A and B are shown apart, each in its own frame.
Chain A
Amino acid sequence: MHAEIKAAGRRVNFAQLASMREAGLIVIILALCIAMSFASPHFLTWGNFRAMLMSFSIEGIVVVGMTILLIVGGIDLSVGSVVCFSMVVSGALFLAGLDPWTASLIGIGVSALIGAAMGFFVTVIGLNHFITSLAAMVIVRGMCLVVTKGTPLSLFTLPPAFKAIGQGSFNNIPYVILIFIVVVAIFDFLLRRATAFRKVFYTGSNEKAAQFSGIRTNQVKFWVTVLCSTLAGLAGVIYMARFGAATPTFGAGMELNIIAAAVIGGASLNGGSGTIFGAILGMALLSVVTSSLILLDVSVYWQDMIKGCILLAAVSIDHFLHRKKS
């Protein structure tokens, strides 16, 4: 008995493992930043940081939804398509004469409906998230092309007040970054503290045990699927405000970057674990690497390869730690 306590004491527990992972990521990111500050004079400037933050802020909103979905044991390959669909639907409605705010709300609402449809197939029909969202990815992309007839929508007539969401700033801090921080702060807090989100962990950790604890796991899975698509829709309208255009091919491949960020940040594809803070750090790491490669004049063709290797390394380390644990 005594030996058992000692053995348990040496083991790392869930919360420690998560914070270890986050601390590790912070160290790696800081080390990269310090190294880069010697390698390039442009790296440690507010301009470069702003650019880096801007580059992942909008995707970061999608990462939040994806992380929660991964925790419940799901995955969503359709987020890139949904971001785009939200963008083109809002854009098309604006061009048809609707005011951009209402158009955007409808765009986000339609995204939520796509999530609800996927949730239906997952919980009622009983398909898995992977296949369902793979189908949705293709279908929604097709819908983008149908709505736009394949050509980009030019939205330069968007009123300045709306464009400001994507292009304006408050005290030199872009609204995009502020929105991102607010979304992250809200969901990080809710995920740690709200009862409703605790059920997400139970369901993802052991769906059967959750059912045997009286949790309606299908409801949980359904609403998390809707949430993920809704946040993708929100990102879509922010992109519209930022670019002043809606391109039917926008966001292709985005889902992979987003899943990679969440997984590097500690979300498990088996469900039950993950933090939003970690996922954002994963996103930040990918972004710092990209920025470094650009500043170091490495050909853009190398970027995907290097990102893929980082993902592989992160997941391998995670697997190794888990195997040691059991």
Chain B
Amino acid sequence: MTQAPILEIRRLSKAFGPVKALSDVRFELRRGEIHALCGENGAGKSTLMNMIAGVLQPDEGDILIDGERVSIHSPAAAQRLGIALVHQEIALCQDATVAENIYMAAINSRRAPLMNFQKLYADAQKVMDLLAPIPVRTRVADLSISNQQLVEIAKALTLDCKVLMLDEPTAALTESEAQRLFSIVRGLKERGISVVYISHRMAEIFSLCDRVTVFRDGRYVATDQVAAVSPDDVVRKMVGREITQLYPDKLAPQAPGRLLLSVEGLSDGRRFADVDLQLRAGEILGIGGLIGAGRSEIAQTVCGLRPMTSGTVALDGKQLRLRGYGDAVKAGLVYLSEDRKGSGVFLDLPIAANISALDLGRLTGPLGLLDRKAEDRQARELTGRLGVRMAGIEATVSTLSGGNQQKVAIARQLSVSPKVIIMDEPTRGIDVGAKVEIHRLLRQLAGSGVGVIVISSELPELIGLCDRVLVVREGRIAGELTAGELGEEAIIMLASGVQDSSNQRQAQNVA
């Protein structure tokens, strides 16, 4: 019999309320391998990692370390077992130095009453230099996001672990930083450390990993030797489901009308460059890509919410000179934020006030007083049109369900009768019923001549709803997919950059 795997998961299940995050999954990590874990958003990868790291407790099933059943009650217990997890989100003490963050666990368990800062800095610098020459006396808050990510990884390296789990470690890294990380990970492998590597990027998986396991909708799909499969196979296994008839009918071919919005050579000097984009009346244009690829930044810049360094934006043939978002709204260009609670709605204000926030001018009389009757009329009309379920327009938005809150946010955009409406993740975190309603509404808007752009991380939404999809990768338009070419595999390939050159050329020709 061969040696037991260092980490094994058997028949593990986990539910959050009625939602099954994982059902009956298995996973096996051999000593000294780099094992990729793949799946779409919501496939259950992070849930599994959190259970192995002691953050969450499984409902059912076993976790085995070196062939022995263990129960991992807390992150500290996971650390004692030699398991380290680098979270996708950065969880550092922003006001402490890099060195203090790297050795936080060690400092916490020390008995000595005083800190030896000289030794702390020297040791931390040694670990940090393996990844990047970041001075360890720097405050974490003063570092860029990618450098903070590297500090997170350095922190895990100090834990002297047997199993290292990396949850999308390259999401915020540049190409050269990522390359450095890969060589570190390979070095760890040579030292006998086993690595679980979560990533969407096929190129990384295929250059770095030994085996790949795919999860889909909280279930285990397959484990393969990387050498024995192609990126296409993996993507197909990740997607693997038919898209149902949840979406409204699309535009007939050749139906798009006149050019509504035209963006040329847009750059902000930081997050994206050279973005071209055309939107015609009547169509729904999708923008896909990985989280952090720069989609929201592009949309916000188009609307004057962020500064641009070069490029032009023309609406209805007229070039816009935006000094701020207010100018865009006046011109008929509106943007709906992806972060509903954080920047989309005013939770503790009434529904009517939420809807009128975008253009108070139209509700204001000659004396600068607000016409409350007009405000109420507008709120009643729009909530009726959108089917907002509420106690009344004076109720605060916090009393509504997520889907109805989103409808209120959309009602606000509609209150100015926009020519172009850009929606960033319009259906994130809302239930299926409201989702279908919002999709119908968007199609209806497009049908009435409004230009609609939908930014979405949900592939089925992009494919089911949009007439055309632009995919953004690392701040650039990686390609365009028209009706015939739309598919989850095509989008993932463009987004993650595995697209082979012939397809890419094809995509550019279409664009």
A residues at B contact (CB < 8 Å) = 1, 4-5, 8-9, 11, 13-15, 193-196, 198-199, 201-202, 205-206, 208-216, 272-273, 325-326
Provide the bound-state CA to CA distance between A196 and B369, in Å.
8
Q: Is the CB of A195 within 8 A of B400?
A: no
Q: Which of chain B's residues have a CB closer than 8 A to the CB of A211?
A: 305, 325, 343
Closest A residue by C-beta to B351:
A13
Q: Is the CB of B345 within 8 A of A209?
A: yes
Q: Is the CB of A13 within 8 A of B394?
A: yes
Residue with the highest number of chain B CB atoms closer than 10 Å, among A14, A202, A212: A212
* Known interface pairs A9-B391, A193-B370, A193-B372; 16 further A-B residue pairs with C-beta atoms within 8 A, sorted by A's residue number: A8-B400, A13-B396, A14-B350, A14-B394, A195-B360, A195-B370, A199-B360, A202-B357, A206-B342, A209-B337, A211-B305, A214-B328, A214-B329, A215-B326, A272-B346, A326-B398
Q: Is the CB of B324 within 8 A of A212?
A: no
Pick 9 A–B contacts, CB within 8 A, sort by A. A8-B391, A8-B399, A13-B395, A13-B396, A194-B368, A210-B357, A213-B357, A214-B325, A325-B398
Q: Is the CB of A13 within 8 A of B370?
A: no
Provide the bound-state CA to CA distance between A37 and B257, in Å.
78
Knowing A15-B394, A199-B360 are in contact, say whether A194-B389 is a contact too (CB < 8 A). Answer: no
Provide the bound-state CA to CA distance between A202 and B357, in Å.
7
Q: Is the CB of A8 within 8 A of B390?
A: yes
Smallest CB separation, A1 vs chain B (Å): 6
Provide the bound-state CA to CA distance between A1 and B388, in Å.
11
Q: Which of chain A's residues have a CB closer than 8 A to the CB of B346?
A: 201-202, 205-206, 209-210, 272
B339-357 interface bits toward A, Cβ cutoff 8 Å, 1 = contact, 0 = none: 1001111111110010001
Q: Is the CB of B389 within 8 A of A1?
A: yes
Q: Is the CB of B353 within 8 A of A201?
A: yes
Q: Which of chain B's residues have a CB closer than 8 A to the CB of A213?
A: 325, 357-358, 412
Closest B residue by C-beta to A16:
B394
Provide the bound-state CA to CA distance between A35 and B343, in Å.
49
Smallest CB separation, B321 vs chain A (Å): 16
Please tell me which one of the listed residues A5, A208, A212 contacts residue B391 in the complex, with CB atoms under 8 A apart: A5
Q: Which of chain A's residues have a CB closer than 8 A to the CB of B357?
A: 202, 209-210, 213, 215
Provide the bound-state CA to CA distance between A173 and B357, in Å.
42
Please tell me which one of the listed residues B350, B360, B398 contacts residue A15 in the complex, with CB atoms under 8 A apart: B350
Q: Which of chain B's residues have a CB closer than 8 A to the CB of A13?
A: 350, 391-392, 394-396, 399
Q: Is the CB of B345 within 8 A of A5?
A: no
B residues at A contact (CB < 8 Å) = 305, 324-326, 328-329, 335, 337, 339, 342-350, 353, 357-361, 363-364, 368-370, 372, 389-392, 394-396, 398-401, 412
Q: How many A-B residue pairs have CB under 8 A?
A: 108
Knowing A205-B349, A210-B357 are in contact, say whether A8-B343 is a contact too (CB < 8 A). Answer: no
Closest A residue by C-beta to B404:
A4
Provide the bound-state CA to CA distance between A201 and B375, in Å.
16
Residue with the highest number of chain A CB atoms closer than 10 Å, among B359, B368, B396, B412: B396
Q: Is the CB of B345 within 8 A of A206?
A: yes
Smallest CB separation, A176 vs chain B (Å): 29
Smallest CB separation, B255 vs chain A (Å): 32
Q: Which of chain B's residues have a CB closer than 8 A to the CB of A199?
A: 360
Provide the bound-state CA to CA distance between A63 and B248, in Å.
55
Closest B residue by C-beta to A196:
B368
Where chain A touches its partner, the secondary structure class is helix
Provide the bound-state CA to CA distance between A117 and B420, in Å.
40
Q: Which of chain A's residues have a CB closer than 8 A to the CB of B329?
A: 214
Smallest CB separation, B416 vs chain A (Å): 10
Q: Which of chain B's residues have a CB closer than 8 A to the CB of A11?
A: 391, 395, 399
Knowing A5-B391, A11-B395 are in contact, say whether A208-B342 is a contact too (CB < 8 A). Answer: yes
Q: Which of chain A's residues have a CB closer than 8 A to the CB of B398?
A: 325-326
Provide the bound-state CA to CA distance between A214 and B329, in Å.
7
Residue with the highest number of chain B CB atoms closer than 10 Å, among A193, A211, A214, A272: A214
Q: Which of chain A's residues have a CB closer than 8 A to the CB of B353?
A: 198, 201-202
Q: Is the CB of B368 within 8 A of A195?
A: yes
Q: Is the CB of A205 within 8 A of B364?
A: no
Smallest CB separation, A137 vs chain B (Å): 26
Q: Which of chain B's residues have a CB closer than 8 A to the CB of A208?
A: 337, 339, 342-343
Smallest CB separation, B362 vs chain A (Å): 10
Q: Which of chain B's residues have a CB closer than 8 A to the CB of A15?
A: 350, 394
Q: Which of chain B's residues have a CB closer than 8 A to the CB of A194?
A: 368-370
Q: Which of chain A's residues have a CB closer than 8 A to the CB of B350?
A: 13-15
Q: Is the CB of A205 within 8 A of B347?
A: yes
7 closest cross-chain pairs (CB), A and B:
A208-B343, A214-B326, A8-B391, A205-B346, A213-B357, A195-B364, A13-B395
Closest A residue by C-beta to B357:
A213
Q: Is the CB of A212 within 8 A of B337?
A: yes
Smallest CB separation, B75 vs chain A (Å): 29
Q: Is the CB of B348 within 8 A of A14?
A: yes
Knowing A14-B349, A194-B368, A205-B349 are in contact, say whether A216-B400 is a contact too (CB < 8 A). Answer: no
Provide the bound-state CA to CA distance between A306 and B390, in Å.
42
Provide the bound-state CA to CA distance between A212 and B353, in Å.
15
Q: Which of chain A's residues have a CB closer than 8 A to the CB of B389?
A: 1, 4-5, 8
Closest A residue by C-beta to B337:
A212
Q: Which of chain B's residues have a CB closer than 8 A to the CB of A195?
A: 360-361, 363-364, 368-370
Provide the bound-state CA to CA distance between A206 and B337, in Å.
13
Q: Is the CB of B324 within 8 A of A216?
A: yes
Provide the bound-state CA to CA distance between A195 and B395, in Å.
20
Please tell me which one of the listed residues A1, A8, A9, A201 contacts residue B349 in the complex, with CB atoms under 8 A apart: A201
Q: Which of chain B's residues have a CB closer than 8 A to the CB of A202?
A: 346, 349, 353, 357
Smallest CB separation, B445 vs chain A (Å): 19
Provide the bound-state CA to CA distance between A193 and B375, in Å.
11
Q: Which of chain B's residues have a CB closer than 8 A to the CB of A201?
A: 346, 349, 353
Provide the bound-state CA to CA distance between A208 and B305, in Å.
11
Provide the bound-state CA to CA distance between A284 and B305, in Å.
44
Please tell me which one of the listed residues B335, B347, B349, B369 contacts residue A212 in the complex, with CB atoms under 8 A apart: B335
Closest B residue by C-beta to A2:
B389
Closest A residue by C-beta to B335:
A212
Closest A residue by C-beta to B390:
A8
Closest A residue by C-beta to B395:
A13
Provide the bound-state CA to CA distance between A14 and B348, in Å.
7
Smallest CB separation, B340 vs chain A (Å): 9
Provide the bound-state CA to CA distance between A5 and B390, in Å.
6
Provide the bound-state CA to CA distance between A202 and B349, in Å.
8
Q: Which of chain A's residues have a CB closer than 8 A to the CB of B369?
A: 193-195
Provide the bound-state CA to CA distance between A307 and B363, in Å.
42
Smallest CB separation, A194 vs chain B (Å): 6
Provide the bound-state CA to CA distance between A92 and B49, in Å.
71
Q: Which of chain B's residues have a CB closer than 8 A to the CB of A216?
A: 324, 326
Provide the bound-state CA to CA distance between A252 and B347, in Å.
37
Residue with the highest number of chain B CB atoms closer than 10 Å, among A11, A195, A272: A195
Smallest CB separation, B509 vs chain A (Å): 37
Provide the bound-state CA to CA distance between A196 and B344, in Å.
21
Provide the bound-state CA to CA distance between A209 and B336, in Å.
10
Provide the bound-state CA to CA distance between A8 and B398, in Å.
10
Residue with the highest number of chain A CB atoms closer than 10 Å, among B339, B346, B350: B346
Q: Is the CB of A209 within 8 A of B325?
A: no
Closest B residue by C-beta to A273:
B348
Q: Is the CB of B348 within 8 A of A212?
A: no
Residue with the highest number of chain A CB atoms closer than 10 Å, among B353, B363, B391: B391
Provide the bound-state CA to CA distance between A199 and B346, in Å.
12
Q: Is the CB of A214 within 8 A of B368?
A: no
Provide the bound-state CA to CA distance between A194 and B368, in Å.
6
Provide the bound-state CA to CA distance between A13 and B372, in Å.
17
Closest B residue by C-beta to A10:
B391
